[in-house]
Amino acid sequence: MTLVHSSEHFRLFSERVVVVGGGIVGVCCALYLQREGYAVMLIDPAAAGDSTAKWSCGQMAIGEVIPLSRPGVMQKIPGWLLDQKGPLALRANALPGMLPWFLRFLACARQAKTEEIARDIASLTHHSHADYVPLLQACAERTLLRDRPVIKLFDCANGLEQERPHLAFRTALGFKAEVLDAAAIADLEPSLAGKFSHGLLFPDWRSVSDTEGFITALTQSFIDQGGVRVRGLVRRLEEVADHASGVTLANGERYAADHVVIAAGVGSRQFFDQLGARIPMAGIAGYQVLLPTPGETIRHSVIFPDGGFCISPMTRGLQIGGTMEFARPNAEPNFKRAEIILEKARKILPGLQVDNFEYGVGYRPYLPDTKPVIDRSTRLSNVFMALGHGQLGLTLGATTGRLIAQMVAGRTPVQNLEPFSAERFSL
């Protein structure tokens, strides 16, 4: 798929928006801004599709609203330090620098706070499918989203029992789930027959056919509708009085804008001082393995919570991922984490062909309360923030795009966005 742009086309319009960040959240913001009638320029240093969401399990996980910070998490931190083969690891040298973030994180690990966060996130994820509909209908490719639910499988009955309180709360929030026995699991996934007896089916979740292809197709749709994509690194926002007048790239190129949207994931941190935002964002590494010719057939995206990983069939192969690691900013990737999940997957699927594989890592932009920021800058009145989506970037991309476009257009969104204010960390 060829991606082209014309910056001259962008300069012809009077109402111009620059979106900084071409990942899933950024491109969805750009598409919804187009629907509002704006001329939109999307700027990102990477090729279309080569973003954090590329190295994800590709799930529209609308019921994944229980935050990572939850009661009992404090007791797990020593284990994260000691067991580097566990689902979530913490490099010891990262702890001093991340201590302020962890203190905020632990402050959210109260039952009442956990339920509050879950309700806030659910207020967004309930709209995920509907918000993607107009964006996907405008794409030439019609098979970007698979019409199949997502499965979660447990090693034993105890795993399912531990999940039940969270399951009950998700059900109360309106999300569906069905308990699976051995026969049902075998019917859904013949390759896993006889290996699992306890599972859950999430009938309202979906997965994309390919994470890279999904973002690339949306980007091409944006360009086909007159959008401009520039491959470059935004170095700073240009300011006039209390608003941004445009952006300057690392190569010195400048683009004027009437509005700017910051949707650059972990890369958004470089703009926080200019925006007057005190946002505690951590980039948590999520490792993945892609097997182009896996030699095993998996029909659904399957989560294995006891092992801390997921297997997702994609058009470019079988993707295995989900392990997470807290490390210092700019730390080198530790691809031994990818080796660990590959070995775990091989124990479940001994027939996996691993002669040809690719390792990848995506840095999830996590905030201590697991909620994103969807807000306007208090310092630069025409700059908007769409960042900090953690593992829900793909799930919340379209909803965030719709909300940001409504804000840029001067309309008050129906959803209450106070829980997603950047100022919540300044209180």
Asked if residues 206 and 129 have their Cβ atoms less than 8 Å apart, the reply is yes
Domain limits for position 188: 150-201
Helix (H) or strand (E) holding 364: strand 358-366
Residues 158 and 257 in one domain: no
Residue 379 lies in a domain: yes
Q: What is the pLDDT of residue 307?
A: 85
**Hey, what are 250's tokens?**
């690392």
Cα–Cα distance measured from residue 375 to residue 406, given in angstroms and rounded to the nearest whole number:
11
Distances, alpha carbon 41 to alpha carbons 26, 135, 149, 163, 387, in Å:
11, 17, 35, 44, 18
Q: What is the pLDDT of residue 74?
A: 66
Q: What is the pLDDT of residue 47?
A: 94
Angle 273-279-283 from CA coordinates, rounded to 5°: 105
Residue 11 lies in a domain: yes
| DSSP assignments along 320-347, one per residue | EEEEEEE--TTPPP-THHHHHHHHHHHH
- For the chain, residues with pLDDT lower than 70 are 1-14, 74, 77, 80-84, 427
What 3 state SS string does 128-193 have?
HHHHHHHHHHCCCCCCCEECCCEEEEECCHHHHHHHHHHHHHHHHCCCCCEEECHHHHHHHCHHHC
Asked if residues 126 and 172 have their Cβ atoms less than 8 Å apart, the reply is no
Residues 1 and 59 in one domain: yes
Asked if residues 117 and 409 have their Cβ atoms less than 8 Å apart, the reply is no
Residues 141 and 162 in one domain: no
pLDDT per residue as tens digits for the range 340-362: 899 999 999 999 998 889 999 99
Q: What are phi and psi of 197, to 5 degrees?
A: -120, -5
Cross-strand bridge partners of residue 151:
201, 302
Residues 21 and 65 in one domain: yes
Q: What is the pLDDT of residue 82?
A: 67
End-to-end CA distance of the chain: 47
Residue 58 lies in a domain: yes
Residues 212 and 134 in one domain: yes
Residues 123 and 180 in one domain: no
Q: What are phi and psi of 386, to 5 degrees?
A: -135, 85
pLDDT per residue as tens digits for the range 379-427: 999 999 999 999 999 999 999 999 999 999 999 998 999 999 999 988 6
> Residue 246 maps to which CATH number?
3.50.50.60
Cα–Cα distance measured from residue 5 to residue 227, given in angstroms and rounded to the nearest whole number:
7
Residue 360 lies in a domain: no
Q: What is the pLDDT of residue 206?
A: 97
- Structural domain count, the chain: 2
Q: What is the pLDDT of residue 8?
A: 53
Residue 265 lies in a domain: yes
Asked if residues 97 and 106 have their Cβ atoms less than 8 Å apart, the reply is no
Residues 211 and 132 in one domain: yes
Q: What is the pLDDT of residue 92?
A: 79
Question: What own/partner pairs with CB < 8 Å and gap ≥ 24 does 183-187 have?
Answer: 185/151, 185/153
Cα–Cα distance measured from residue 182 to residue 195, given in angstroms and rounded to the nearest whole number:
8
Nearest to 360 by CA among 220, 217, 211: 211
Is this model's pTM higher than 0.85 or not? yes
3-state secondary structure of 73: coil
